[in-house]
Structure 1
């Protein structure tokens, strides 16, 4: 049985943080537009956006060493770190607007201040971290960064990690008080609650089987009701594909030339979790180390304070796993069905070029719990197996495409693919993903609705005061926004660089 539905203005596929952000932006900019959302699962934010499917790091390049690369001449390139930080500042501005507008009542329901740290051992890594600190601390976006090689100082910052540690050589750490822990699952649910109050038609248990261009330039979607088995047809002037790992298949079905030649490689993540209050209260930071040789950038080990539903826990990982599924709730055939004639050579080239990644994934999959505990003991020397359990986090699909670097290049990051006429856009890729959702969705708006930008500009600036500006070119604005977003989001601790946050204040 099928039903023909009347057209709508916008269709969002997937009820994750990206669709939540784009839908909220569009409802502020064009409140009269009709928006429909289709989600396969029973509620929003259940795949990559879910709080247990990611580490909850508000990625601002404060601690992620893979965003800063040492050049052959010994200098540190921080350009990617600056870009990611600026994008996170945009997210904080938009979230502040949502709180000020009462769209979100209590910011502590989704964000909390947690210092971000980098921690290394050994002469070579300590020298790298010091150069990184010296370069970043001169930049206005990273004012307040602290550096120490003093074990006594580190015992104050990370007592759990320093307890019973045998120091055999140089150790070093950087610390930024202005870090955050973000519950992207909670934020997604808050935004969808708002959208439904604004009469957005959110339909769960709906799978988009196909989509094609209609004669009038709109898009027709074939949508299956997973509860009844009925097939429905929906048309829209604009479609956003924000289905996480599932976006690639739908992009391929759209047939737009911009989607040709792109493949995807799925990587799953696993975390060790501790909920023992005796241990959890001894650590208050997100601490990133350096990735092992041969490991992909998304496998940088880190020990994270998490605050979920106002309760604290610790996460350590990620450990990489492999599944051919593109979503946790996906199909074992996802990887194989994504291989098409137009991306076959690209995928084969990627396979040849990434033997080391394949070997790393096999090694990770074969790890026992005790072997994972040994990796954890690099961070917490006296960690006990009985205090930690293993959880499976989300599936990430890394983009594979031909670039200037060569055929079959594995891309790490997020990328918007859109049709030339702006009628459809898809988001592919992974980290820093959710942290930069507002910047990415503004990019979608700029690409797909250029005819409205002039009329919308005043409202966009109201929501995001730095819109159209590069913060690095306006250092006076950085501190102003830093203070205003900290105040509005309840992150006052980040407004006082160097002040140790009380472990008890989030309990």
Structure 2
């Protein structure tokens, strides 16, 4: 039985950082448009965007080694690192606009300055890190990065990691003080609080069960009100599916050609959380290592200072695992249900290709707490098991698709938008760097889905995001100006800029 039938301009499925960002952009660009949001949980930012379900790193390639690769000739390819840094600068600019416009509150409630470091051991890894440092240092986006292979210097940078360590092989680190810790859960809630004041209709405890095209070109959503049990039908001109791991099944329900031959592989995660305040105070930074052979990029080990609920915390991980669920609150039938006649060959091909990943995940699932503590001791030599608790992090669904470069069944690591040819529906798939690049990704949605409006919107977009459409790495003077401005607005440095 249905008790509701409505029509609107835009429907956003999922109340995470992506929908919050897209909704906030649209309300600045087209304030007259009506927007509805449907979320199956009780509040915004409760799944992938929640502060306990992600690493909280402002991903800008300052410390993540998997964003730089070594070429056959030994040189370092920094293309991906530069792109991700550029994308994070867009997020900083938009957040600064929202703060300056009094649309969201105190930036310290969602972003804090924190050094970003990379740490490696062994001759080969130290050589790689030094070459990486030299390549990145030539780019203005990475100005201020330091390199050291002196254990005494590293003791100053990361005393908790170096205390009690027997240095039996070369060890080195890079450090840049201008990194960030971002509480994406808090930011998501702030953005939805703002959208509520703009008359955006927020519907929590509403689960989207089906999406289909109507004869007049609208999209109709079948929605179950979980509070009443009643079924509702809502129509919209444009639908964005930003439901995290739940996006793929909903995209498949649209039936658009672009949804074919795409699969998803869920990876779960655990973090160790320090419960000893004395240990927490001995570390200040996000320190990323190198992923083990066969491990997926999202499993790069890192020791992170976090700010959660305005309280300093220390986390280590992630430890990967496998669950057939696409969401923490999902069903054990999610993976099986996502296998369709049009993607079964793609999924089978991925299964054959990714035997190393499968083996790695099995090993991770089998890890005991003692084994996890042993891995922690690779970072903190004198770590005590009783000082650390386990927190189950979010589910990530990695995209599987056929590509020219990788062939059939290629596992994709990253974030990508899938949209219909007419731009009336779009979905966000994938994982890291995800939330950090939400503004870039949502600008991509606008470009793909609203091409006729982009000319009229461009001046407003540039007011909100001054570097839109340009490369900051190719315009260092403009970058310094923008960086100083966003650092000041977001409270990320006592000085106006690291460049002054």
Instruction: Give the TM-score category using the shorter length.
Output: over 0.9
C-alpha distance in 2, partners of 1:340/1:144?
A: 50
Which piece of structure 1 moves more, 88-97 or 267-276?
267-276
Task: Tell me the residue number matched to 2:431.
Answer: 430
3-state SS of 1:427 partner: strand
- Whole-angstrom distance in 1 between the partners of 2:169 and 2:130: 15
- Deviation by residue 1:377-423 (Cα, 9 ceiling, x = unmatched): 11100110010011100000000000012100000000100001100
Partner residue in 1 for 2:449:
448
Shift of 1:496: 5.9
- Residue 92 (structure 2) pairs with residue 92 (structure 1): yes
* Residues 39-438 of structure 1 aligned to structure 2 (within 5 Å): 39-404=39-404, 405-438=406-439
For residues 497 and 383 of structure 1, the distance between their equivalents in structure 2, rounded to whole angstroms, comes to: 34
Contact 2:483 2:497 in 1 (8 A): no
- Return the alpha-carbon distance in structure 2 between the equivalents of residues 495 and 65 of structure 1: 28
Check 1:295–1:262 CA distance in 2 against 1; reply closer, same or farther (3 A cut): same
Residue 6 of structure 1 aligns to a residue whose secondary structure is strand
Give 3-state SS (helix, strand or coil) of 1:55's partner: coil
Residue 28 (1) aligns with residue 28 (2): yes
Preserved CA contact (<8 Å) 1:287 1:304: yes
1:390 counterpart SS class: strand
Match of 1:505 in 2: none
| Alpha-carbon shift at residue 497 of structure 1 (Å) | 4.9
Contact 2:111 2:490 in 1 (8 A): yes
Aligned twin of 2:11 = 11
CA distance in 2: counterparts of 1:363 and 1:401, whole angstroms:
25
Q: CA 1:195–1:323 in 2, change beyond 3 Å: closer, same or farther?
A: same
* Per-residue CA distance 1:14-64 (angstroms, 9 max, x = gap): 000000000000001111110000000000000000000001000000000
Conserved? CA contact 1:177–1:494, under 8 Å: no
TM-score w.r.t. structure 2 length? Answer: 0.99
> Could you tell me how far apart the structure 2 residues matched to 1:477 and 1:341 are?
51
Paired with 2:479 and 2:140, the residues of 1 have a C-alpha distance of 7
In angstroms, what is the RMSD of aligned CA positions?
A: 1.1
Task: Say whether the 8 Å CA contact 1:416–1:428 is kept in structure 2.
Answer: yes
Q: After superposition, give the CA deviation of every residue in 1:175-208 in whole Å (9 maximum; x if it has no partner).
A: 0111000000000000000111111000001110
Moved over 4 A (4+): 493-499
Find the residue that maps to 2:10 and give its secondary structure: strand
Residue by residue over 1:48-96, the C-alpha shift from the partner in whole angstroms, topping out at 9 and shown as x without a partner, is 0000000100000000000000011000001000110000000000000
Query: What is the TM-score with the length of structure 1 in the denominator?
Result: 0.97
Q: Deviations over 1:211-270 (max 9, x none)?
A: 101111110000001121100000000000000000000100000001100000000010
Q: In the aligned structure 2, how far is the partner of 1:276 from the partner of 1:493?
A: 29
Residue 451 of structure 1: SS of its match in structure 2? coil
Contact 1:177–1:493 under 8 Å retained in 2: no
Change (3 A) 1:498 1:90: closer
Q: Which runs of 5+ in 2 are unaligned?
A: none
Q: 1:457 is matched with which residue?
A: 458
Deviations 1:92-142 (A, max 9, x none): 000000110111220000000000000011111001100000000011111
1:153 Cα deviation after fit: 1.1
What SS is found at the alignment partner of 1:383? Answer: coil
Contact 2:480 2:499 in 1 (8 A): no
Q: Distance in 1 between matches of 2:320 and 2:51?
A: 18
Deviation per CA, 1:1-22: give whole Å up to 9, x if none: 2024220000000000000000
**2: CA distance, partners of 1:157 / 1:494:** 21
- The residue correspondences of 1:482-501 to structure 2 (distance < 5 A) are 482-492=483-493, 497=498
Q: Deviations over 1:462-491 (max 9, x none)?
A: 100001111122121111111111000000
**Aligned residues of 1:115 and 1:179 also touching (Cα < 8 A):** yes
1:473 aligned counterpart, secondary structure: coil
Per the alignment, in what secondary structure is the counterpart of residue 141 of structure 2?
helix
- Name the CA shift for 1:343/1:493 in 2 (closer, same or farther; >3 Å): farther
CA contact (8 A) 2:120 2:173 kept: yes
Residue 498 of structure 1: how far off its partner (Å):
11
